[in-house]
Structure formats: C-alpha cells, structure tokens
Amino acid sequence: MAERSWFYAAGGQQQGPLSETQLHYLIGRGTVTSDTLVWSEGMAAWQKAGEVPGLLSGAATPPAFPGSGGTIPTTAGFGGASALSVDFGIWDYVWRTIVASIGTILVIPAPWAIVWYLNWMVSCVHVPGRPNLSFTGQPLTIAPWFFGAIILDIAAYWLSDEQSQGLTNLVSLVWLVLYWLFIRWFVANLASNGQPLGLSFSGSFWAYFGWNLLAAVSIITIIGWAWVYTAMIRWFCRNIQGTRRQVVFKATGLQYLWRVIVTAIASGFIIPIPWVMRWLLRWQASQTELVERGALPRT
C-alpha cells in the first residue's frame, strides 16, 4: 500500500508533501509536535497532529490553511512563489549559540563548533518541496583554511609594524577569500532527506570582493549599508545554481534597516536578544522565495 502524503504548518507556511516515514521522522525529531497542524487526504480540515487517529493511503491537494486568507499553493508542483521559514525554540537557540561561541573563542574546536551549529540551524529552516533540510559539511574540510589564516594572523601580530603591514593586508585578503570559499562549501553541502541537493554557488570572488568594498564604503552614509546589504543578498540568491526554481530575496533596504535598528536597540538590553534574533531571522526567511525561473516574485 502506497504511503500517504502529508502536509504540516510551520511559521505560517504550508510544508510538504511528506511521506508517512518522513512525517514520523519529523515527529521523532520534535519538528512536528502534537500541536502542529497537519493535513492529508480524507481530512475535512487541518488538525493538530496529536488529534489524528491514523494514516490512510493516497495523496491530494490540501484545502486552504486556516487564517491564510486564501488557498496556499501546494509545493508538489512548485507552482507560484513559496517562501522559506525558520522555526526554533528560544532556549535551544540560547544554549547552542553560547556553546558555539565558546568553541569559536577557544580557536582549536572552532571548525567543529561551527559545523555543529550549522547542522542545527539548517535543520530549523523549512524549504517548500525540500523536506528535512540538513547540512553535510565536515569540520576537517574547513580546519586547514581556518588554522592557516590564524597562523597568518599570529605572524602579523608578532612582526614589527613596518614588516607586518604587508602581511596584515594579505591576511585581510585571505580571510575574504575564505569567507567566499565558505559560502561555496556551505551551499554545496545542503541536503534534503539525506540526499545532496546538488547546489552550487557561482558568484565570482572579485564580485564578492566588490560587494564587500561597497558595503564598507556605504557605512559612511550611516544608513546606506542596508540597501547595499539587501542588494548583496539578491546577488547571492541569483548565483545559487542547481535548482529548478530561482531563489529570490524580495525585501527592500528600508524594511531591513528599521528591523536591524529595532534588533540593535533591543539587544542593548541583553535579555531580549534571542527573541529579537528569532524575529529577524523569521522575517529574513519569509522574504526569501522560490519561484519558477522566468516568473516574477510576489510583491
């Protein structure tokens, strides 16, 4: 008997379709809880997962999600635009961020701490049509890059001012190259249901260098960096290859600016940091959409 397809709600967005096995995996991981709204064929409306008595065979398009204001397109056919979403618990975010920060400060465990944190953060991102998103990168891949750059930093610190100036400039360029390589490595190691997505990042280093230079210059305008940053994100999205759909970031510089200002002010009080960071990340994800190539994103 064929497994039944399921849909579930996360961050106000419909996710799926998922097989029964995939749904059970998400339940076991805690992504889908007894209070998560789910739907499948044979159900008159969305119900909490804990209230569904059993699983039946078949698959169909779900009805309108409650409170959505209309029918949400299914992700099975990749029709229209589908926004990403992020969902994680506050305390889970707090302790993981603290552990990752400590690991990075201690330098030696930094590659392992970074990959561990990425594994968790990626699993919190929900991509329509790509269930169980995961990150498959290995710490030993970035360890040589990271420790090599640290050695150059140390050498520049111990040399005299005159001797270290050239090396300091070289270290800055090396770090920029490493960030660019990190982006390529990160995108290439995204997977869904344990299978590599086959993505790649095609943006050139010199284009990346130019964007960073423009971002540095824009700081003198006080607020101009927000427009540069949103344009830079669009450049990132345009250069993600290997997808049937195009990745689009639709936010404006003004929308990003006021949210970052609110986040910065709230973060000054320390305690609200996890809440405002989740708020900002959720908004950023909601502004990132997958659209059919050649189609215009929603406005």
Does 289 share its domain with 202? yes
Q: Does 286 score more than 70 pLDDT?
A: yes
Instruction: Please check whether residue 102 lies inside any domain of the structure.
Output: no
175 occurs within a structural domain = no
In a domain, residue 15? The reply is: yes
Average pLDDT, the chain: 83
Distance CA 68, CA 79 (A): 17
Residue 56 has pLDDT above 60, yes or no: no
Higher pLDDT, 35 or 121: 121
pLDDT range class, residue 182, cuts 50, 70, 90: very high
- 25 and 130, same domain (yes or no): no
Whether residue 31 is found in the same domain as residue 129: no
Q: Do 130 and 44 sit in the same domain of this protein?
A: no
Q: Is the pLDDT of residue 162 over 50?
A: yes
Nearest to 37 by CA among 52, 25, 47, 29: 47
Q: Is residue 28 part of a domain?
A: yes
**Is residue 31 scored above 80 in pLDDT?**
no
CA distance 17 to 27: 15
> Is the same domain home to 11 and 132?
no
- Does a structural domain hold residue 147? no
Report the percentage of the chain scoring pLDDT > 70: 83
Whether 295 has a pLDDT exceeding 80, the answer reads: no
How distant, in Å, are the alpha carbons of 4, 12, 23, 48 from that of 59? 6, 22, 14, 19
Question: Nearest Cα to 9, choosing from 29, 30, 31, 28?
Answer: 31
Reported as a single tens digit per residue, the pLDDT across 84-113 is: 999 899 999 999 999 999 999 999 999 999
* Burial of 84 per CB tally in 10 Å (0-12, 13-18, 19+): buried
Structure tokens at 210: 């130019």
Pick the most confident of 41-55, 162-176, 180-194, 280-294: 180-194
Cα 123 from Cα 130, distance rounded (Å): 11
- pLDDT > 90 fraction of the chain, expressed in percent and rounded: 54
pLDDT > 70? residue 76 = no
Place of tokens 């800055």: 172
Domain assignment of residue 211, yes or no: yes
Residue at token pair 């700081």: 219
> Is 42 part of a structural domain of the chain?
yes
Dump the DSSP string for 187-248.
HHTEEETTEE---EE---HHHHHHHHHHHHHHGGGSSHHHHHHHHHHHHHHHTEES-SEEEE
Q: Reply yes or no on whether the pLDDT at 6 is more than 80.
A: no
Indicate if 128 and 24 belong to the same structural domain: no
Is there a single domain that holds both residue 128 and residue 214? yes
Q: Is the pLDDT of residue 243 over 70?
A: yes
Q: Which domain holds residue 19?
A: 6-50
- According to DSSP, residue 130 is labeled B
On whether both 248 and 131 belong to a single domain, the answer is yes
Backbone torsions φ then ψ of 186, nearest 5 degrees: -65, -50
Residue 71 pLDDT: 39
Domain contains 74: no
**Structure confidence at residue 273 (pLDDT):** 96
**Is residue 124 over pLDDT 70?**
yes
The count of domains in the chain is 2
The answer, yes or no, to whether residue 7 has pLDDT greater than 50, is: yes
Task: Give 99's contacts (C-beta < 8 A, 6+ positions apart).
Answer: 113
